Amino acid sequence: MEQKTIYEFGAVYRDTFRVTGFYFGTGEKTMCVVGSMRGNENQQMYACSLLVKRLRELEEKGRIAEGKEILVIPCVNPYSVNVKKRFWTIDNTDINRMFPGFSEGETTQRIAGGVFDVIKEYKYGVQFASFYRAGSFLPHIRMMKTGYENVELAKQFGLPYVVLHNPRPFDTATLNYNWQIWETDAFSIYTTNTERIDQASARQAVEAILCFLSKQGVIRYRSHDGYISKVIESGDLISVRAGAAGFFESRVTVGEEVVRGQLLARIMDPYTNEAKCELISPVSGVVNFLHDGAMTYENTAVFKIIEEEE
């Protein structure tokens, strides 16, 4: 393992800003894994730390194939992590909306550009991603539909679902999208949480990456094949929205199978604790996303359900 600073700049009142990468093996730029890009992505950084540990152990045992290089970047935004702020500390911009970056632009554009210059030539790219809405996920692979996506390759991670997503205008400035445009096979892995660490979910994600690398002949690793992944479109997920604002009391968990007509949650009045509305499942299926905040606003999507096939 070799630890390198892949991008840095000086600061007037703080320590130098550094993005650190961990290199395993040498030769062809085979896989790059990126963790936290936002200050609250603790789970994503934790999953990368587990991956660094596992790859170091494999390298020490000589189990990384000759001529293959793997790069892991646990955190792209350490400043925001240090002050517990989701976006860039000065202007609240999102690094993952700045790719492919611009070396003469604003700070977050420069960071994105400096990092992308290092990682854009890797054959495979994986990002431990988080959703813009707070909540818990059923672990899955997500891919942008750019015309370059490789669904069969995504199945080789062995996670339960592969979700295909039609990019919206702002998605064109994300890492996943630009990796694909630069001809990297790019995948986003969603684990259960963002701010809270879920060790089991993080280990599942790391095993999925090791399983993928084993199938590509990059490492020698005895892994389980995992799930036979089901491919779904993000637009086919059924949203259940809160009918009122108030305390959110869920009656189900992520990954739970529900049936049409089942009670999913109640929204409670924050002053009187009377039920303001009940949320009923419109379909039978599996809970893919669950709002995990104490309160919710009216019309907020608090569940996303993968509908069961007839």
Q: Write down the pLDDT at residue 310.
A: 59
pTM above 0.85, yes or no: yes
Which is nearest to 112 in space by CA: 2, 9, 1?
A: 9
CA dist., res. 290 & res. 147, Å (int): 30
CA separation for the pair 25, 218 (Å, rounded): 10
The reported pLDDT for the residue numbered 129 is 93
How far apart (Å, rounded) are the C-alpha atoms in residues 307 and 282? 9
One-letter amino acid identity for 222?
R
Question: 70 and 31 in contact (C-beta within 8 Å)?
Answer: yes
CATH topology of domain 237-307: OB fold (Dihydrolipoamide Acetyltransferase, E2P) (2.40.50)
Distance of alpha carbon 187 from the chain centroid = 9
Digitized pLDDT (tens) for each residue of the chain, 310 residues in all: 999 999 999 876 778 999 999 999 999 999 999 999 999 999 999 999 999 999 999 999 999 999 999 999 999 999 999 888 999 988 999 999 999 999 999 999 999 999 999 999 999 999 999 987 778 889 999 999 999 999 999 999 999 999 999 999 989 999 999 999 999 999 999 999 898 899 999 999 999 999 999 999 999 988 777 788 999 999 899 999 999 999 999 999 999 999 999 999 999 999 999 999 999 999 999 999 999 889 999 999 999 999 987 5
Q: Parallel, antiparallel, or unpaired for β 2-9 and 17-24?
A: antiparallel
End-to-end CA, the chain: 50
Residues of the chain with CATH 3.40.630.10: 2-233
- Quote the pLDDT of residue 160: 92
- Give the fold, CATH level 3, of 2-233: Aminopeptidase (3.40.630)
CB-based contacts of 281, cutoff 8 Å, min separation 6 = 240, 258, 259, 260, 261, 262, 263, 264, 303, 305
The residues of the chain that CATH labels 2.40.50.100 are 237-307
pLDDT (0 to 100) of residue 13: 72
Residue type, 60: E
**Of 261, 250, 246, 243, which Cα lies nearest the Cα of 289?**
250
